[in-house]
Structure 1
Amino acid sequence: MKFNFTKLPLLLLTSILAISCSNNNEDEIPTEQISKADFIENYATIASTNYSDTYNTAVAMQTKINAFIAAPTETTLAEARTSWLYARDFYGQTEAYREANGPIDNEDLLATEGQINAWPLDEGYIDYVFNSTGGTVQNGLIGDTTVELTAANLIAKNEDGGADNIATGWHAIEFLLWGQDLNYDPINHTTDNYAVSGDRPYTDYTTADFADRRATYLQVVTDLLINDLNDLNTTWAVGGTYRTTFEALEEDVALTNILNGIGFISNGEIALERLDPAIDEGQENEHSCFSDNTNQDMWANVHGLNNIIIGSYTTESGAIISGVSLIELVNQSNITIGSTLNTKASETISKLNTLLGLGKTFDEIISEETLGSNGPAGQLSSALKAQGTAISDAASTLGVNITIN
């Protein structure tokens, strides 16, 4: 299990304290007037800081990957993997800014989400995969020497001919670092060893077939990811192109965008796309299956939403960005709706903590439940759906309408 224990207690404490502060206001309307503009400004500050952290930690990952490519060893491979896991904590929180008419997925702006974080990924589209007899099959882009491995070509190949033909982004890098996760126990020859992630050997980059092309591929997609994250960081920074556009939006337009984002990601994305299909269909729909990092993905995605709901974000340096929360803003208009939102957000964090506290990988958790069986993954999904509904109700109270499916 690979979630970050050193960071987790601080961020959970931050969430608990912020929610507790909101609870103190449940019986009375806040006397200090706050505005939609205050909430919108805090959202922009959190988004900008989160994207900055994402870019900086990804650059640190790039450095480790470059070191691995230059000198492939077990040690440099392990360091590259660790840096990927760490940077994912920050990117995962930025999912809260999707579906908000912003640069990550607005076709008139950058719209690079598909080449940054698309999934599920067909491993065989990129590199060799194992067959049923333990051998390998190489029909991927790495083995196809007619394909020049350039950024432009891999962008063109991304999702070309099928939604799971993913050629770029976090999960392409993940697969190139870890390889397939087959849940295979070589001692007992069974396929239910859930504690084992992918175990690509470093020799795939030294003596294996297509080692040089594999290294080139890893280099190209890592550099491409850094460029895409830099664009997001720059455009969201104070004075950046999108930050300027965002700050000029009418308040209700900006508020609609923000709440549509967190409402949809809570209900339509994490619950309905990342949890329910994985419970129903198994590991092939697990978000970070190669590294077995999906539990931590859940942590980052849920906390990304919670950052906006409670108005607080803990930076990579440990500093806390804090301002007007959605709960406070809604409480000012309707204390009952605000209290419900507070409760649903708290319940979502609680269900997340239950899932993380099991001490099992995500693929093991989903192997022990079915859709509708009310297992821990299903309970988290239900909590996220209820949270999405509470966000929609909050939006209506504030005079705007959103879509959470």
Structure 2
Amino acid sequence: MGANQPPLSEGVLESTQKVVHEALERLGYGEGYFELLKEPLRLLTVRIPVRMDDGQVKVFTGYRAQHTDAVGPTKGGIRFHPSVTAEEVSALSLWMTLKCGIFDLPYGGGKGGIICDPRTMSLGEVERLARGYVRAISQIVGPNKDIPAPDVYTNAQIMAWMLDEYSRIREYDSPGFITGKPLVLGGSQGREKATSFGVAISIREAAKLQGLNIQGLKVCIQGFGNVGSHLAEILDQWGATIVGISDVHGGIFDEKGLDVPYLLDRRDSFGSVTNLFSKRLSNAEFLMQPCDVLVPAALENQITNENVGDIRAKMIVEAANGPTSLEASEKLHERGVLVVPDVLANAGGVTVSYFEWVQNNQGYYWTEEEVNRKLEDKMVEAVHKVLNMAKSRSITPRLAAYMVGVQKYAEASRLRGWV
């Protein structure tokens, strides 16, 4: 299923709002704009009764947040996780707005979730829950209203069930209602590796702006799930040297480089491979290893005030959401360590979701090469725009990304007369 990104902590949510506030201030937008954009425009809470396999009816709580529709429909994933909260989906919808703004996509941010643990449910129970959720939110979603997608513990099969339920309600087929679908139901080529490909391009372009070549670049990747494993594969093919990878069991490091095809071949379905090695580093030790690029591709809050002094990477590229605390990020910036923020580096997924929606709307589908070329164009443009702004204004790349990300929503809100 989707990347197993755990729930966000409250500190991450508050720090996101703090940077949005500063970004709007620097752009010359007053307090009213922050009040409008700090929380979602709409937050729907639904209760979904599901008949379980044992005959009992269990009622689940779900949410759908729509952050802003100032420039078009909202867009964002649906997660099935026991720790989903209204606050979490609200904050994630704000992050989605920033990503869509940075990549100039015609959306505002959205996010949804259901409080459940699909790992303890049968496939039939998950299907009934997915269909019930669509019935509950059907009035506020649609290809020109709000377009869902996969997220934590949801996948292409769940999107297919949701599409089928929505089509039954509407009594016509509407593939553009949801993205991350199977290819045969209107999915896009290139979707599976989109986030990893986007992170790889971010690394290449950020290195280029620092006068470094991707070939021979020493990279450590924390997390060997869908994003981390595909990223290792792409960078290895491009000539980078993968010197370290880690998973839930620990990390392995070799400054001469790891055998990536071997590791990919031995990786199990949970993204674990280091358990095959007797000599493993702890997660704390792994983050301290010397490398050109450290890619946190697993959990949030990995680099904090406590361990930032031990970080020996020259560049950090955030493939996970919120892996570096705001304070740690600023300290790294002061030390001359470039931090490419999550809202820039890991937005390949939403960008290819946008491409899927475009293909659905026009009924004409692109090859994987075309999708990758269009994604590369978007990533290169965004990375250069953000990092050049950070350099010219002497600000952190995170603040620059938020300034680029929030500007069009503030301006659209002004022109619509909302503020």
- Counting helix residues as a fraction of each chain, which structure ranks higher? 1
TM-score range, shorter chain: under 0.3
- The answer to which structure, 1 or 2, has the higher relative contact order (CA under 8 A, 6+ apart) is 1
Q: In proportion to residue count, which structure has more strand?
A: 2
TM-score by length of 1: 0.28
